[in-house]
Structure 1
Amino acid sequence: MSDQKPYDPSAEGTQMNFDGRMSYSDYLGIDTLLAAQKPLTQTHDELLFIIQHQTSELWMHLILHELQTARKAIIDDEFSMAFKMLSRVAKIFEQLNNAWDVLRTMTPSEYTAFRDDLGQSSGFQSWQYRLIEYALGNRNAAMLSPHKHKSETIAKLKAELAVPSLYDEAIAALARNGFEISKDCLTRDKSQTHGFDETVQDAWKTVYQSPKKHWQFYELAEKLVDLEDYFRRWRFNHVTTVERVIGFKRGTGGTGGVSYLKRMLEVELFPELWRVRTIL
C-alpha cells in the first residue's frame, strides 16, 4: 500500500474557501443556467432537446456579438480586426454544426413521446437566428411577424433592418477603396435583401485576379465565403436531422418542416462571391 497522502491543493496556495468571494459558479451564473431546463414531460429525451436548443441560442448570442464588432471594423477599414471576428463566427457555426450529431441520437419514437407538448413553439421563432440572418443580409420583413407580440424583440429586429448589413458594409468598403460599384447598389434600400449586382462581381473578380495587390479584400472575401460555407453546412445538417427525426411532417410552428428548411438552403447571402468563381 502507498503511504502517500491525498493531494491537497491548498498546500500550494490554492483558494479553497469561497465564503464571501466570487467563485466559478458565481461568475458564470451556473445555478441560474442549470435551472433554465424545465421539461414539460417525464420523457428521458426532452432534456437533450432543451439543452440542444438552449446551447445553440448561447452560441448565437456570441455570433451576434462578433458580427456587430466585425461590421464596425469594416466600416472603419480595420480589416484585420474584422478577419478575427469573422473567423470566430465561422468556427462557431462549425460548433453548432457538430451539435446536430448529438441531437440525431434521438429517434423518431423518442421525439414523438413529447413533441405534442411543445405546442406551437418552434426554432422558426428564434429571434436571435432571425437577427443573424438580417445582420448577414437575408432581410425578409415577413419574418418579423412571429415576434410582434414582444415589443423589445421586434424593436431589435427593426433596428437591424434600419442599418446596412455586414455584406452591404463590405460592398461600401470596396467602393470607398477605389472599386467601381454602381450607384443603384450603393443607394438601394438597405432594409431589403441585397440582390446580385454585376459591378460587385466585377470588383471581386479584380480582387481575385490580383490578390497580392488587393490582399485585404482578398482575405475579406475568403472570410465571408468561409462564414457562409459553414452557415450552409449548418442549415443542411438541420434539414437532415429534421428529416431523420420527423420525416416530412409539418413543423410544430406550422411551417412545412423539411420542405421549408430545404427552401432556406437556396438562400445566397453573398451572391457575387460565389458566382465570381465561375468567371475567373
Structure 2
Amino acid sequence: MGHDTVETPNLSFGRGATPDRSTPYARYVRLDELHSLQHPRSKEPAELSFIVTTQVMELLFDLLRHEWTIARQALREDDLPAALAALRRGTHAQDVLVDSWDLLATMTPQEFNSFRSLFGEASGFQSAAFLHLEFLLGNKNAALLAMYDGMPGTQAGLTEALRAPSLYDEALALLARRGLLPPQEASEQRYRPSEEVAAAWRRVYTEPESATLRPLGEALLDVAERVTRWRQRHLSAVKRTMGGKPGSGGSSGLTWLRKSAEQDVFPELWTIRDGL
C-alpha cells in the first residue's frame, strides 16, 4: 500500500445533526442521561435533594445486590476469600448508604410537606431493588410480590430471589459441609433463628479447628450491623420529617420502621455473644 491508513471516527450524523463532541468520560458514565433524570415537581429547593438522594440510594442498592450475589456464589463454591472480599466491598457501599441519610437530615416538615402530595402513593417501600436485598438477607415475604403485578419482568426476578437460597442460607450450607451443622433447607419464608444454628456458630468461635470460619462470622456481622444502622437512620429521618403520619405507600410509617429496626439480621451471630 502506498500510504498508511488511519481510522477516523464516523461523524456522519445525518443532515442538520450536531457531531457528538462530548468527552470520553461523559460517554462512559453517560453523563447527559444521568443528569437528565431529576425532575422536581415543585418549587421547593429541598425536593431536588430528595430526588437525588433517592436515586443514589437505588444505585447503591444495585451495587450491594451485585456484591452480595458474588459473595453468595463464592460461599456455594467454598471460595471463602472471594466471599469475604465481596462482603468487604459491600460494607463500603453500606456505609455510603447509611451516610446518605445526612442529605435529608435537615429537611423540615414544612419543606417535605410542600412536595409530598406531588408524588402521590410513591414510596421507597415499593423499591424492587431494596426488596431484592431483603430477600438476599433472608427477610422473605411472598405477599410483597403482589406490588409488581403490573411489572412481570421485575416480579419474575423477585420471585427467583424469593425461591433461591439467601446469603445466610449459603453461609449455613458451608457450615454444614464443614460438619458443624446438619444440612439446612432453604425456605421462601422469613428466616427463623434456631438453637441448632446458634450452636454451630458457637463452635466456630470457640473451637480451634473451626477458627478459619470466624472471619466469615465477623464479615456477616459487619453486614448485619450496617443493615441495622440503615434502618435506624431511616426511622430517625422519617420521624423528623413527617412524624407518625402513615407512609405515602400505605404503610404504617413509624410503626413499621421501628419494628424493622428491631429485627436482627443473621440473628444467631448476635445471640451467641452472650456466652462468648
The TM-score normalised by the length of structure 2 is 0.89
Q: Deviations over 1:96-149 (max 9, x none)?
A: 111111111211111111111010000010110000000111011122122222
Q: Deviations over 1:173-210 (max 9, x none)?
A: 001112132x5xx13x5212221122211111011113
In structure 1, distance between residues paired with 2:20 and 2:156: 42
Are 2:228 and 2:264, in contact at CA under 8 Å, matched by a contact in 1?
A: no
In structure 2, distance between residues paired with 1:167 and 1:151: 27
Relative to structure 2, which stretch is displaced further, 248-257 or 50-59? Answer: 248-257
Are 1:90 and 1:231, in contact at CA under 8 Å, matched by a contact in 2?
A: no
The 5 A counterparts of 1:85-96 are: 85-96=86-97
Tell me how far 1:52 sits from its aligned partner.
0.7
Residue 70 (str. 1) matches residue 67 (str. 2) = no
Residue 122 (str. 1) matches residue 119 (str. 2) = no
Match of 2:179 in 1: 178
In structure 1, distance between residues paired with 2:21 and 2:50: 36
Match of 2:15 in 1: none
**Which structure 1 residue ranges, 4+ long, deviate > 3 Å from structure 2?**
18-22
Relative to structure 2, which stretch is displaced further, 223-232 or 139-148? Answer: 139-148
Match of 1:147 in 2: 148
Residue 230 (str. 1) matches residue 226 (str. 2) = yes
Match of 1:6 in 2: none
In structure 2, distance between residues paired with 1:70 and 1:195: 22
* RMSD, aligned α-carbons: 1.6
Match of 2:11 in 1: none
Q: 2:242 aligns with which of 239, 246, 249?
A: 246
Taking only the aligned residue pairs, the percentage that are identical comes to 38
Q: Deviations over 1:68-111 (max 9, x none)?
A: 10000000110111111111212211111111111112111111
Are 1:122 and 1:251, in contact at CA under 8 Å, matched by a contact in 2?
A: yes
Are 1:97 and 1:233, in contact at CA under 8 Å, matched by a contact in 2?
A: yes
Match of 2:206 in 1: 209
The code of the aligned residue for 1:54 comes to Q
Are 2:109 and 2:241, in contact at CA under 8 Å, matched by a contact in 1?
A: yes
The TM-score normalised by the length of structure 1 is 0.88
In structure 2, distance between residues paired with 1:22 and 1:90: 32
Are 2:145 and 2:155, in contact at CA under 8 Å, matched by a contact in 1?
A: yes
Q: Deviations over 1:238-259 (max 9, x none)?
A: 0001000001111111111111
Q: 2:256 aligns with which of 255, 260, 264?
A: 260
Segments of structure 1 that go 5 or more residues without pairing to the other structure are 1-17
Segments of structure 2 that go 5 or more residues without pairing to the other structure are 1-18
Relative to structure 2, which stretch is displaced further, 69-78 or 197-206? Answer: 197-206
The code of the aligned residue for 2:188 comes to S
Task: Specify the SS of the correspondent of 1:173.
Answer: helix
C-alpha change, 1:235 and 1:19, in structure 2 (3 Å) is: same
Are 1:79 and 1:216, in contact at CA under 8 Å, matched by a contact in 2?
A: no
C-alpha change, 1:121 and 1:21, in structure 2 (3 Å) is: closer
Are 2:68 and 2:90, in contact at CA under 8 Å, matched by a contact in 1?
A: yes
The code of the aligned residue for 1:31 comes to D
C-alpha change, 1:98 and 1:21, in structure 2 (3 Å) is: closer
In structure 2, distance between residues paired with 1:94 and 1:191: 28
